Amino acid sequence: MTTTFPRTAPSTLGIDARGIAAFLDALESTPDVEPHGLVLLRHGQVAAEGWWRPYDRDRVHLLYSLSKSFTAAAVGIAVREGRIDLDATALSYFPELDADVTDERSRRIRVRHLLAMASGHREETIARAEALDPSNTVRGFLLLPPDEEPGTVFAYNQPCTYTLGAIVRRVSGVSLVEYLRPRLLDPLGIDDLAWRRDASGAEFGYSGCYATTESVAKLGQLYLQRGVWEGERILDEDWVAAATSTQVENPAEANPDWRQGYGFQFWMARHGFRGDGAYGQFCVVLPEQDVVLAITGQSLDMQAVLDAAWQHLLPAVDAADADGAGDDGLEARLASLGLPPVRGGRLPDLAAAGPFTGPELDGLVFTHDVDRWRATIDVDGGTLSVPVGEGEWAVDGALAASGAVDPDGTVLVDVRFVDTPHLLHLRVDPGTATVSASWATEPLHDGPLTLRRPAD
């Protein structure tokens, strides 16, 4: 089942289009901010939506830690079904580990502590947990004695969410996606959602979820509607209230929108609450304004994205001087969004100059396909093949590329992994037949060959 939001002019929804345009200006001009997709809802209707080519509406995007909010929804549904008790200990769901886990604090970690990133550990434990038990992350995590009493200290800690996912799988007997499909995804009309799995076959839970920008907006709208979707209750209202209010204080966080408190896999913010993920994945919910903002992107400065929202979008809602004068211009702009391709001169005969070698790649070969170049990249024991657009992005499956010649004769090729935030820069020297490669943003748990939507 597919459900989509009605689309309405911003002014009809009480939003000044000039504020949305100013927000777009800020996203496109702020250093270390690169938007890929945006959906802005008010009163459950689309006020603005757009995707920066080569990204598009129907393509999923790696959400990184925004995945946590989908995992939390699975827990909330399992609580509603009576499968999970928030006050039960994590260990109680893994009785086979009872003899191994002897630390009293570890034994007192409850489900609600995992949800609130309040296991009692003072810092991230994922590397230590996986080192303690490479085949069972839950066991490795529970073998790490908390530094403080569970529930008393905040630390962003991936094994908390991994363990939540493992509990859902344990009580349901199916994967997270299988559990969510009839209970959340189908009711919301989320047709395409996939999740990266670890070597044991378990979804990461804390990361690795791939979904469209609109799907992110739907999750936000569900929470804005206090857990009800088209008359059907999916999450209990008291669950939503707890998930979206401070369960543990976190005043030591560096950025202002990250130190407003933490709920159940949601951050509190200076305005409303949100789920977010590395490199600019956002699900921002503003209950007072009845607004949801979903953003996907490749942004290193995530605070700058929220600053721009507070500076430009928030005042545009119910602005005293709002009118419909800017609606048409905004609609045209949203339809024409795009990330700039590589600029420069026409590509030379790269087939004659190659093959190219370099320290980061096993090899690079260019061939000419009818009217454009194609790059074949050997990396990590596998091969990537992508057409290279000149003055545009050429898209093939989960890859897009653009290339040009720099004034110094260097060939520049940018390869975008368009199911993810990531961009690979290639610098090719035709004179020496060498190539160097660098990431604009470093992938956190994938290599070039797996930077795409995983198979179901």
Q: How much is the pLDDT for 274?
A: 98
pLDDT at 240 over 80: yes
In three state form, how does the secondary structure of the chain look? CCCCCCECCHHHHCECHHHHHHHHHHHHHCCCCCEEEEEEEECCEEEEEEECECCCCCCCEECHHHHHHHHHHHHHHHHHCCCCCCCCECHHHCHHHCCCCCCHHHHCCEHHHHHCCCCCCCCCCHHHHHHHCCCCHHHHHHCCCCCCCCCCCCCCCHHHHHHHHHHHHHHHCCCHHHHHHHHHHHHHCCCCEEECECCCCCECCCCCEEECHHHHHHHHHHHHCCCEECCEECCCHHHHHHHCCCCECCCCCCCHHHCCCECCCCEECCCCEEEEECCCEEEEEECCCCEEEEEEECCCCHHHHHHHHHHHHHHHECCCCCCHHHHHHHHHHHHCCECCCCCCECCCCHHHHCCEECCCCCEEEEEEECCEEEEEEEECCEEEEEEEECCCCEEECCEEEEEEECCCCCEEEEEEECCCCCEEEEEEECCCCEEEEEECCCCCCCCHHHCCCCCC
Q: In this prediction, what percent of the chain has a pLDDT beyond 70?
A: 99
The pTM assigned to this predicted structure is 0.96
User: Comparing C-alpha atoms, which of 397, 398, 403, 352 is closest to residue 373?
Assistant: 403
Mean pLDDT of 355-363: 93
CB 210 within 8 A of CB 453: yes
Mean pLDDT of 409-428: 97
Instruction: Note whether residue 89 is domain-resident.
Output: no
Q: How much is the pLDDT for 370?
A: 79
Query: How crowded is the C-beta side of 85, counted as CA atoms within 13 Å?
Result: 7
CB 216 within 8 A of CB 39: yes
User: How does pLDDT run across 434-448, given as a tens digit for each residue?
Assistant: 999 999 999 999 999
Q: From CA 289, how far away is CA 37, in angstroms rounded?
A: 21
Question: Could you identify the residue written with the tokens 């020496």?
Answer: 432
**Could you say which of 304, 335, 366 is where a domain stops?**
335
Mean pLDDT of 38-61: 97
Instruction: Note whether residue 299 is domain-resident.
Output: yes
* 283 burial level (CB within 10 Å; 0-12, 13-18, 19+): buried
Beta bridge partners of 41: 46, 292
**Could you say which of 302, 335, 368 is where a domain stops?**
335
Cis, peptide link before residue 54, omega less than 30° from 0:
yes
Query: Do 255 and 172 lie in a common domain?
Result: yes
Sign of CA dihedral 105, 108, 111, 112: negative
Instruction: Note whether residue 187 is domain-resident.
Output: yes
User: How does pLDDT run across 243-276, given as a tens digit for each residue?
Assistant: 999 999 999 999 999 999 999 999 999 999 999 9
The enclosing domain of 250 has a CATH number of 3.40.710.10
Q: And the tokens for 423?
A: 């961009």
pLDDT at 3 over 80: no
Q: How many domains does the chain have?
A: 2
Q: How much is the pLDDT for 1?
A: 47
Mean pLDDT of 376-399: 96
Query: Do 185 and 283 lie in a common domain?
Result: yes
Query: Do 171 and 234 lie in a common domain?
Result: yes
Average pLDDT, the chain: 96
Q: How much is the pLDDT for 452?
A: 96
Instruction: Note whether residue 193 is domain-resident.
Output: yes
Mean pLDDT of 270-292: 98
Instruction: Note whether residue 229 is domain-resident.
Output: yes
Instruction: Note whether residue 456 is domain-resident.
Output: no
Q: How much is the pLDDT for 320?
A: 82
Q: Tell me how far CA of residue 188 lies from CA of 3, 74, 216, 236, in angstroms.
A: 7, 14, 11, 16
Mean pLDDT of 316-335: 92
Q: How much is the pLDDT for 377?
A: 96
Q: From CA 283, how far away is CA 280, in angstroms rounded?
A: 10
User: How does pLDDT run across 122-142, given as a tens digit for each residue?
Assistant: 999 999 999 999 999 999 999
Query: Do 183 and 254 lie in a common domain?
Result: yes
Q: How much is the pLDDT for 2?
A: 52
Query: Do 381 and 328 lie in a common domain?
Result: no
User: How does pLDDT run across 140-193, given as a tens digit for each residue?
Assistant: 999 999 999 999 999 999 999 999 999 999 999 999 999 999 999 999 999 999
At residue 64, φ and ψ (nearest 5 deg) are 45, -130
Query: Do 196 and 298 lie in a common domain?
Result: yes
* 456 burial level (CB within 10 Å; 0-12, 13-18, 19+): exposed
Query: Do 172 and 275 lie in a common domain?
Result: yes
**Could you say which of 289, 310, 335 is where a domain stops?**
335
Query: Do 302 and 359 lie in a common domain?
Result: no
Instruction: Note whether residue 316 is domain-resident.
Output: yes
Q: How much is the pLDDT for 166?
A: 98
Query: Do 38 and 177 lie in a common domain?
Result: yes
Query: Do 211 and 173 lie in a common domain?
Result: yes
Query: Do 299 and 193 lie in a common domain?
Result: yes
Q: Report which residue type is found at 285.
A: V
Query: Angle at CA 192, nearest 5°, toward 190 and 194?
Result: 115
Instruction: Note whether residue 386 is domain-resident.
Output: yes
Q: And the tokens for 299?
A: 């942004």
pLDDT at 346 over 90: yes
Q: How much is the pLDDT for 369?
A: 81
Mean pLDDT of 318-333: 91
pLDDT at 422 over 90: yes
Mean pLDDT of 323-328: 90
Query: Do 295 and 364 lie in a common domain?
Result: no
Mean pLDDT of 109-120: 98
Range of the domain at 384: 350-450
